[in-house]
Amino acid sequence: MDFSLHEEHEHLRSMVREFAEKKIKPVAQKLDEEEAFSYDLTKQMGELGLFGVYLPEQYGGAGMDYLSYIIAVEEIARVDGSQAATLAAHNSLGIGPIYNYGTEEQKMKYLPKLCTGEALWSFGLTEPEAGSDSRASKTTAKAEGDNWSINGSKIFITNGSVDINLGATVQTVTQETSDNKEFTTIIVEKGTEGFTQQRMHGKMMWRASDTAHLFFDNCRVPKENILGEPGQGSKIMLQTLDAGRLSIAAMGLGCAQGAYELALSYAQERKQFGKSISQFQAISFKLADMSMKIELARTFLYKACWLKDTHQPFTKEAAIAKLYCSEIAKEVADAAVQVHGGNGLMKEYNVERFYRDQRLLQIGEGTSEILRMVIAKQIGI
C-alpha cells in the first residue's frame, strides 16, 4: 500500500496553505466579529481554481480528483471555518448535484459560472420541521401546464442569500398520497418571481459565512428545471450528502489541525514555574493525544476519498469519516482551549473562534446520532 500523496496533491496543499495564511488569516477575526461575508476572498478562491476543482475542464473545473478538493477544504479550515464552509457547500452541495445529475444543457448553463468564484449556488433540503428526517419536507411543487408552482420554505441554507448567489437546487414534494411522498429536485434561479432569500444573523459559529432562509410563494419555474428524473429527489439528495460528508470531515480535520497548532505554539511559549508548559507531562500528553487523533482522522478520510475516486461504494466510510473528524475537532478544540487556560476564552486568541466553529460539525450534513444510524445500517443492523 502506498500512502504517499501525488506531487499535484502536495503542490495544491502548499498553494492553498499559503493563500490561507496570507489572505484569510489576517482578516478572519474581523470578518467573524462583524458577521461579514467576504466577496473578495470568495472570488480569490475561485481564481485559485478551488471552485469546481474536481470538475472536468470543459465545465470550467480544474480536472483534479476528489481528494484534491478535500485537501483544499482541509487547508482553508485550518485557518478559518467560515471560508471553508463557503468552499465546501458550494462545491459539494451546489456544484455537485448539477454536475452529477444535470442535463448537458444544465451543466453548460450553470457550471462555468459557478467555477469562477463570481457566483455561488445553494442546496435547499433542510426545513423548519424537516432536518434529520428529510422525508418530512413540506415544500411542494405542483404541475401547472409547462411549469411547476413551488410553495414552502427552507432554512439553514449555506450560500443562500449573498448577492452572487445564482439560485438553488431544492427538494420538493411533487406527488403525495395517503401513504407515500414523491420527491423531486428542481433548479430555482435567483430572481424568479415568488422566490426570496433572507440572511440569518446571530450565529455562534461560521459567522462570516452566509446562512439563509429560502421562501417560495407560488414560485413558478419551467418543467425543464427538474434536476435528474421526477421522483428521484431523495436519491439525489442522499447521494449528494455522501459526498458532502467528506467535505465536512475535511472541515473537522482542518479545524483540529489549526487548533492543535495554536495549542502547540502557545504551550512552547507560555512559561510557568520557570519552564515552558509544553515540558509538563500533563500538557505534553494532551498535545500527543491531539496529534494522534488528527493523524488517524486524516488517514481514514483520505481512504474514503480514495474509494470515491476509484468509483467504489463509500457511504459507510463517508459516514465514519464525517463522524470521527467532527468528534475529534470537538475534542482537540476543547483541549486546545484548556492548554491556553484563561487566554483561550478571549476573542483576541484565535483558538476561541476554533472552539465555536467546531460545534456545527457534529450537526450539519447528518448529526452524529444520525451518522451512527447510517453506519449501523451499513453493517447490517
Catalytic site residues? 365
Pairwise CA distance, residues 379 & 309, whole Å? 22
Pairwise CA distance, residues 331 & 333, whole Å? 6
Written as one letter, the residue type at 41 is L
Dihedral pair phi/psi, residue 194, rounded to 5°? 90, -5
Q: Other CB atoms closer than 10 Å to residue 21's CB: what's the count?
A: 13
User: How many CA atoms lie within 13 Å of 25's alpha carbon, on the beta-carbon side?
Assistant: 15
Of 152, 160, 140, 150, the closest CA to residue 213 belongs to 160
User: How many CA atoms lie within 13 Å of 58's alpha carbon, on the beta-carbon side?
Assistant: 5
- Ramachandran category for residue 272: left, alpha or beta (phi over 0 → left; psi -120 to 50 → alpha): beta
C-alpha cell at 80: 478559518
C-alpha cell at 66: 476528489
Q: Vertex 375, ends 240 and 309: CA angle to 5°? A: 45
Pairwise CA distance, residues 196 & 161, whole Å? 9
Complete DSSP assignment for 86-99 = HHHIIIIIIIHHHH
Pairwise CA distance, residues 375 & 94, whole Å? 25
Complete DSSP assignment for 57-83 = GGGT-----HHHHHHHHHHHHTT-HHH
CA-derived radius of gyration, the chain: 21
